[in-house]
Amino acid sequence: MPAEDVMQATGIASRLSLDKYVSIGWFPAPVEVGPPRRNGTSGKYAWLKSEVDAWILARAAARTASPLAAFDGASQPA
C-alpha cells in the first residue's frame, strides 16, 4: 500500500506522523518495492496490506480489552 492509502485506512493525518510512528516502532515499517535510484538513495517503499490490517485489528482489540486504554497515554505515542 502506498503511504496515501495507509494514511486513509488508519486515519494517520500526515506522512511526517506516519514516518515518526514507524521510527518509534508504533507502526509497521514499509518494505522496499523498487530498485535503488541512480543517485544511490532508496527506491520506492510501500506497506504490506496484511500488516496494516493487523495493526488496525490490534488497535481495535486493545480498545475493546480496555475502554480506557486510549486515554491512559501508554497505548499511543507522545
Closest CA to 18 of 53, 41, 46, 58: 46
65 phi, psi to nearest 5 deg: -65, -35
pLDDT digits (tens, 9 = 90+) for 48-72: 999 999 999 999 988 876 666 555 5
pLDDT digits (tens, 9 = 90+) for 21-32: 999 999 999 998
Query: Rounded to an integer, what distance in angstroms lies between the CA atom of residue 1 and that of residue 49?
Result: 6
Q: Which one is predicted more confidently, 13 or 36?
A: 13
Confidence class for position 33, pLDDT limits 50, 70, 90: confident
Q: What angle (nearest 5°) sits at the alpha carbon of residue 4, between those of residues 68 and 8?
A: 35
